[in-house]
Structure 1
């Protein structure tokens, strides 16, 4: 929800605070900067003290600072508070680890892709909120309403157990057995006879393990794969907003379409907000992700992880090239499409 929220809010804050392109881009950069710094720390802390504590703390942290963002009095405060939200999201991401450790390896190719459906539903919810709330109440109320699911989830955390795998690695065998017993009762089954015995890991949370001779190649490949996937996915989400956005127009005599909102006191700058058609375009692109989940599951179970990732990465690269060809041929040349600063220079004599 965080990245799609930025895609919806960016045109609004650009108009409200007269932001240049680099200032709008800095908002997303600071979110990911907070995610990067705290992501390293949250991984270490979750290995040392448990996944549940980190995920719960991440939700509380991100919900709190996201709510504060809606009261940001200036651009500087906005990027600072969103970077704090990024720190919280880094803790929330440990929920993926918590979830994976409960899923048997043979079922992960089915259940993990299905879980991404809820990720996509969150993105679509943000777009719908933007469509319904932003035109009437503004972006601040959209952020306040978007915090509601996190607050509800915080109260539901008492139903989420700590990872049994973590408890075993930490030497807390009774807690692991208690969790497995509850799961077996939910499944109307019983634990196999015997006693759970496992040697606790002494080097939990040590980054040196990732770069040891046994894991170095795998770690480097996974890091690069995550870089490519994040670069492609988040780049496509944020660029969707940029392609639809009309930006600020700073002239004396603006056309009727620009005289919609954000009419400034000096009478020089006007802005076009997202129309319903723009929100619908974002919504359709998100629906495309949901539609491809069954295909992803099929490919994973038929061709395996590596071949599927190779094919989909190549397909993504080809489609990105096609998008580039289409946008250079089809996008209307709105005045100020590439930022307020460029328009100001071109209209300097009128200012």
Structure 2
């Protein structure tokens, strides 16, 4: 009997109306995550002023969110591979939106700290939105559409900066917290019509359910499915070529995945998944991805925080005071708003590079460029030059992170994709926990040169790690 795979079906049907709806839903999830992250640029200074917080307490307000994201990213990855993508989409959304609203009612600092920790756990499921969308995209144009998906993150950052600039002129930070949680809440009414990933269903041996989803795609796109029946494992000439290629050992072949699926279905599935990620086949890719995720998060969130801290640090240190002068709110919102737009050229740059030169080259080129733009900030510069350099650095940082979020899910097979990306994302959030100590703590202690040099070193090492990635995933089918 003639058979076809999920890749065959998606390639034939192309990117149509159905994928556009999936893109809109997953994209709104990333808008919500981006807004929660950008909120940290404004929340610390505002709460510090109202509750007279110390520098340590202000930094902790950011770090605790990233600690929650670290926990959530790892946990949601395991849940996604065991119970399905839709399960994570629902519960992470409920947690983020519900506790986001509640945090606006916090009576004191400790209550706010606890609630923001749980918001971070909810936001940690954001990577599952990306993996879920990826699994509906045909292999031929994955790069272009995943870059388009990343545009929603940029929308979220710009929206949050605009919201802060406008809302805080007439409203309090509590209103800002409530309004930031609104986009995530808007996902809930549409959850009932969201489909499960057909790749996940096949990996769980639920072939009939996967076929029903593909039939929905076929009806929406008005393109017929291939002839035959859906099959997850099929021996083809292409498979044989893959097995004998020089990087066959990097990506597990399809006939090995049934054993993996059975192992992950067992009670020790999480341990089995971790064992596969650290197996000989994937060890090098996994370890390098962990470091690059850490470095990318450290640099990206660090640049966001530098935007809100550099000018204030320069004024305070030049005047001989230890941060007694509060940053003017208009300058904070203006600088953050301007640098948020840097993500648009960053996305354009990544879209151009990723399909011309591949994933690896795109990442290390933009990481080294980001390093170069941050270099002059080891010395104090005027406000215009500082904003310009941060604008360019953020564009390159956004571009490299965008390509990384495309590359990582392509490396891992479906059976452990969310687990692998989830653990990598969780390790990346460690960078988010650490970066406020550098971007806020060191700057407020008048150690600008040392702070910037730390970012330079991390970015340089991340660029080298990208060069050492063992496989280029451009144009490859995902398992």
Shorter-chain TM-score above 0.5: yes
Asked if residue 40 in structure 1 is aligned to residue 95 in structure 2, the reply is: no
Q: Which residue of 1 aligns with 2:137?
A: 103
From 342, 346, 359, the counterpart of 1:292:
346
Q: Secondary structure at the match of 2:342?
A: helix
Match of 1:53 among 65, 78, 87: 87
Q: Could you tell me which of 200, 203, 218 is aligned with 2:263?
A: 203
Q: Which residue in the other structure is 1:318 paired with?
A: 372
1:217-260 CA-to-partner distances (Å, cap 9, x unmatched) read 1100111111111111111012212225589x9xxxxxxxxxxx
Aligned residues of 1:21 and 1:338 also touching (Cα < 8 A): no
Kindly indicate whether residue 332 of structure 2 is the aligned counterpart of residue 278 of structure 1: yes
The CA deviation at 1:9 is: 1.6
1:246–1:271 Cα contact (<8 Å) kept: no
Question: Is residue 138 from structure 1 mapped to residue 172 from structure 2 by the alignment?
Answer: yes
- Residues 113-262 of structure 1 correspond to what in structure 2 (within 5 A)? 113-198=147-232, 200=258, 201-204=261-264, 205=270, 206-245=273-312
The match for 2:357 among 299, 303, 311 is 303
In structure 2, runs of 5+ residues without a counterpart are 1-34, 234-257, 265-269, 317-323, 385-441, 446-479
Distance 1:17 1:28 in 2: 16
Cα distance, 1:273 vs structure 2: 4.9
Q: Supply the distance in 2 between the matched residues of 1:315 and 1:286 (Cα, whole angstroms).
A: 18
Of structures 1 and 2, the one with the larger relative CO (CA 8 A, separation 6+) is: 2
Structure 1 distance, partners of 2:312, 2:88, is 37
Tell me, which stretches of 5 or more residues in structure 1 are unaligned?
Answer: 250-268, 341-351
2:229 is paired with a residue of what secondary structure?
coil
When the two chains are superposed, the root-mean-square deviation of aligned CA atoms in Å is 2.2
- Secondary structure of residue in 1 paired with 2:263: coil
Between Structure 1 and Structure 2, whose CA radius of gyration is higher? Answer: 1
Check conservation: 2:198, 2:210, Cα contact below 8 A: yes
Residues 222, 246 of structure 1: alpha-carbon distance in 2 compared, 3 angstrom cutoff: closer
Determine the C-alpha separation between the residues in 2 that align with 1:192 and 1:71. Answer: 54
Partners of 1:237 and 1:282 lie apart in 2 by 7
Residues 293 and 338 from structure 1, CA distance in 2 versus in 1: closer, same or farther, beyond 3 angstroms?
closer
| Per-residue CA distance 1:185-233 (angstroms, 9 max, x = gap) | 1111011111112265213352111001111011001111111111111
**Aligned in 2, Cα 1:79/1:273: closer, same or farther, shift over 3 Å?**
farther
- The answer to whether the 8 A contact 2:311-2:383 is kept is no
Report the Cα offset of residue 14 of structure 1. 0.9
Contact 2:164 2:333 (8 Å CA) reproduced: yes
Any conservation in 2 of the 1:59–1:92 contact (CA below 8 Å)? no
Q: TM-score, length-normalised on structure 2?
A: 0.62
Aligned residues: 313
Does the CA-based 8 Å contact 2:312-2:326 persist in structure 1? no
Moved over 6 A (4+): none
- Kindly provide the CA deviation profile for residues 19-39 of structure 1, in whole angstroms up to 9, marking residues without a partner as x: 122211111111111111222
Asked whether the 8 Å contact 2:198–2:213 carries over to 1, the reply is yes
Instruction: Give the C-alpha shift of residue 291 in structure 1.
Output: 2.2
Please give the alpha-carbon distance, in whole angstroms, between the structure 2 residues aligned to 1:21 and 1:106: 49
